[in-house]
Amino acid sequence: MHSWVDGQPADSVPLKDRGLAYGDGLFETIAVKAGQPVLLDRHLQRLDEGCRRLALVADPMVIRSEVLAYATALGEGVLKLILTRGDSLRGYGINPGAPVRRILQGSPPATYPSAHGTDGIRLFPCATRLAEQPLLAGLKHLNRLEQVIARAEWHDTKHAEGLMLDVSGRVIEGVFSNLFLVCNGLLLTADLTRCGVAGVMRAEILAQAQTLGIPVAVADISVEQLQQADEVFVCNSVYGIWPVRECAAMSWSVGPLTRKLQGIVRALLEI
């Protein structure tokens, strides 16, 4: 599957692209099933918020149209949408009116061991900490070096994901996922106003839980709260939900609320 740049097949971008030079842009990773992008509205809502906060000039109708067309051509797999601020001369200053560069890439469907979903996974306790930057918190921007460094901390197959804390020691998320706890019937996920990525599957799970009448909370989470949780799971928009069984010396059972939400999410991803 060829990549597209600004709606046309292409396999390169100019060397002056600000995404390459400064990580000046945003991206979305979207599952595609039967030619349809899954949870597209949530992806585009987050992208729109990112464009607003980074002052990127993008036409949402053009982006939606190109994503739908690319997904149809891809059929099955994973679509990556990248927006950059386009070309620039030397220096950090921006041209406020410059249109974004739109990049679409496709890859085969993601494959993970089925045991991740059925039996649960082990998290690696990452030493890399997430810096606090409220201006960028929640966005899926192109500066992902913290995640790159954290993912390099383990190389074995025993750990399917890593656990990331912020510099103050709060529990935030996985390296490529969001984290949920179940504590006495309450579904709890981390406050992401200082750092972290506000995943679209996280948003969908919160909405589904509220529809079902499940109590939810978004708040700071301590390591002690994590340790005392009844259930723990991670999620993203490609694989859905993985129960968490272990992290370092901590362990949990795969509980009924995790299984209930897993079933709902599985149906969403299968269209």
Domains and their CATH numbers in the chain: 4-107 (3.30.470.10), 115-270 (3.20.10.10)
Q: How far apart are CA 76 and CA 69, in angstroms?
A: 13
List C-alpha distances in Å: 137 to 93, 166, 196, 213, 258: 22, 12, 6, 28, 26
The one-digit pLDDT tens for each residue of the chain (271 residues) are 799 999 999 999 999 999 999 999 999 999 999 999 999 999 999 999 999 999 999 999 999 999 999 999 999 999 999 999 999 878 899 887 788 999 999 999 999 999 999 999 999 999 999 999 999 999 999 999 999 999 999 999 999 999 999 999 999 999 999 999 999 999 999 999 999 999 999 999 999 999 999 999 999 999 999 999 999 999 999 999 999 999 999 999 999 999 999 999 999 998 6
**Which is the catalytic residue, given 28, 29, 161, 258?**
29
List C-alpha distances in Å: 248 to 76, 217, 251, 264: 36, 25, 8, 29
Average predicted confidence (pLDDT) for the chain: 96
Cβ atoms of 19 and 81 closer than 8 Å: no
**Which is the catalytic residue, given 28, 84, 140, 204?**
140
Amino acid 271: pLDDT: 66
Cβ atoms of 116 and 233 closer than 8 Å: no
Q: Is 173 a catalytic residue?
A: yes
Q: Is 140 a catalytic residue?
A: yes
Cβ atoms of 75 and 35 closer than 8 Å: yes
The per-residue DSSP string of the chain comes to ---EETTEE-S---TTBHHHHH--EEEEEEEEETTEETTHHHHHHHHHHHHHHHT-B--HHHHHHHHHHHHHHH-SEEEEEEEE--B--SSS---TTPBPEEEEEEEPPP---THHHHT-EEEEEEEEEEPP-TTTTB--BS--HHHHHHHTT--SSS-SEEEEEETTS-EEEESSSEEEEEETTEEEEE--SSSSB--HHHHHHHHHHHHTT--EEEE---HHHHHH-SEEEEEETTTEEEEEEEETTEE----HHHHHHHHHHHHHHH-
**Which is the catalytic residue, given 28, 84, 161, 173?**
173
Q: For residue range 90-126, what is the model confidence (pLDDT) as tens digits?
A: 889 988 778 899 999 999 999 999 999 999 999 999 9
Cβ atoms of 147 and 111 closer than 8 Å: no
pTM score of the predicted model: 0.95
User: How many Cα atoms are found within 13 Å in the side-chain-facing hemisphere of 160?
Assistant: 22
